[in-house]
């Protein structure tokens, strides 16, 4: 019996099974999963994240997204890895207060930073705690795929390398498939775009996945573009602190007659099934899909996490916030379902 009460119909209370000290300022939190609804937390995709509700004396709670460092194919329990940041309330609270037996309220795994094909050659680039979702992808691809994998991992010094022993073991067990390249700022300086370009150029046929601090991500983006990586094979994971409360269930009131009178119609493909829906222009796509009882992927509903990213095949929308998308994503037809409202009368959308 848990002592916490979930604040959302989508959330669950998980008990911490173990806390692992990875480095002086990074901890992995391993969860037990409940018997009821366990599949929500074990059938995730590599590279996804959990949204955690963290108590706060000032606001009651804050919500933070933490990537799963576990693999759904090799780890029996889901695990997130958290690194302290100087001004990070959530990361410091978790590192200081969580131990085996602690209960935490979480939303199910979410996110689109995940390979569509684990058999494709992968170039994985991480800095600091950006290794967390990259580690999930790496272990999944080694278990289920067969193609070569290159990991470039940047840190300040050797003592800052998260999963150091595990990476050494994986490289030793998979010498024909996995190459791990460490970049230490204490030895090589900050990774620059020209230096990274020389490093990644031999792997331009790989699909690239990157995660890390903004300066690192900027350098990697430039390096990959200069090395000729096409945009559709470059994937980036970026987290921002959530200002709203994703544990607050949305208002699912039926649209008024006035709203319905000027509504668009949309054909939405989700998990291989096509749904025909009426889309009032004042509602977001996530709103109408939830009202229709569909299990639409979403987390923050602020446009920052990218969980609800989908593609407009036909029709047009406007978005209040495009935070998780860059201009190239938008040019490729991607939208955020939690921010999109229709501007055409008929639309076709694919998740």
Same domain, 191 and 159: yes
Same domain, 105 and 126: no
Among residues 182, 203, 237, which one ends one of the domains? 237
Where residue 19 sits, what CATH number does that domain have?
Answer: 2.40.30.10
Same domain, 138 and 41: no
Report the first-to-last Cα separation within the chain, whole angstroms. Answer: 37
State pLDDT tens for residues 163-197.
999 999 999 999 999 999 999 999 999 999 999 99
Whether residue 2 lies inside any domain: the answer is no
- Cα–Cα nearest to 284, from 240, 231, 230, 340: 340
Whether residue 102 lies inside any domain: the answer is yes
Residue with the larger pLDDT of the pair 296 and 154 = 154
pLDDT of res. 209? 98
Same domain, 23 and 90: yes
Tell me the whole-structure pTM to 2 decimals.
0.89
The β-bridge partners of 81 are: 28
Please tell me the total count of domains within the chain: 3
Same domain, 207 and 130: yes
pLDDT of 207 higher than 90: yes
Same domain, 218 and 189: yes
Q: What is the mean pLDDT of residues 5-26?
A: 93
CA distance 15 to 100: 8
State pLDDT tens for residues 305-341.
888 999 999 999 999 888 888 887 888 889 999 999 9
Same domain, 193 and 283: no
Q: Which domain holds residue 330?
A: 257-350
Same domain, 206 and 228: yes
Percentage, residues of the chain above pLDDT 70: 98
pLDDT of res. 205? 95
pLDDT of res. 2? 55
With residue 313 as reference, give the H or E element that holds it: strand 309-314
Where residue 329 sits, what CATH number does that domain have?
Answer: 3.10.20.30
Whether residue 246 lies inside any domain: the answer is no
Half-sphere exposure of 211 (CA within 13 A, CB side): 27
**The two three-digit tokens of residue 32, written as one number:** 């037990």
């Amino acid at each position: 019996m848990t002592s916490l009460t979930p604040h959302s119909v989508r959330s669950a209370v998980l008990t911490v099974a173990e806390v692992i000290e990875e480095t002086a300022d990074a901890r992995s939190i391993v969860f037990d999963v409940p018997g009821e609804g366990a599949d929500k937390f074990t059938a995730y995709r590599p590279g996804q994240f959990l949204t955690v509700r963290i108590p706060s004396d000032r606001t009651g709670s804050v919500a933070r997204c933490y990537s799963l460092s576990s693999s759904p194919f090799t780890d029996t329990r889901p695990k997130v890895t958290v690194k302290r940041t100087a001004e990070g309330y959530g990361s410091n609270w978790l590192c200081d207060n969580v131990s085996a037996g602690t209960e935490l309220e979480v939303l199910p795994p979410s996110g689109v930073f995940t390979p569509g094909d684990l058999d494709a050659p992968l170039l994985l680039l991480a800095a600091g705690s950006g290794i967390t979702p990259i580690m999930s992808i790496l272990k999944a691809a080694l278990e289920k795929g067969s193609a070569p994998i290159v990991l470039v991992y940047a840190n300040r010094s050797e003592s800052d390398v998260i999963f150091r022993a595990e990476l050494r073991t994986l490289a030793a067990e998979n010498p024909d498939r996995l190459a791990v390249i460490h970049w230490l700022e204490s030895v090589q300086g900050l990774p620059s775009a020209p230096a990274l370009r020389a490093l990644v150029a031999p792997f331009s046929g790989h699909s690239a996945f990157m995660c890390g601090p903004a300066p690192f991500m900027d350098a990697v983006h430039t390096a990959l573009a200069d090395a000729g990586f096409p945009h559709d094979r470059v994937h980036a994971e970026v987290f921002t602190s959530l200002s709203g409360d994703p544990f607050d269930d949305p208002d699912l009131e039926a649209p008024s007659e006035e709203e319905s009178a000027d509504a668009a119609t949309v054909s939405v493909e989700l998990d291989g099934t096509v749904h025909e829906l009426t889309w009032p222009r004042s509602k977001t796509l996530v709103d109408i899909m939830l009202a229709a009882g569909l299990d639409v992927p979403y987390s923050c509903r602020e446009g920052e996490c990218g969980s609800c990213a989908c593609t407009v095949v036909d029709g047009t929308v406007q978005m209040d916030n495009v935070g998780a998308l860059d201009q190239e994503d938008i040019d490729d037809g991607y939208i955020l379902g939690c921010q999109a409202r229709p501007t055409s009368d008929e639309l076709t959308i694919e998740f």
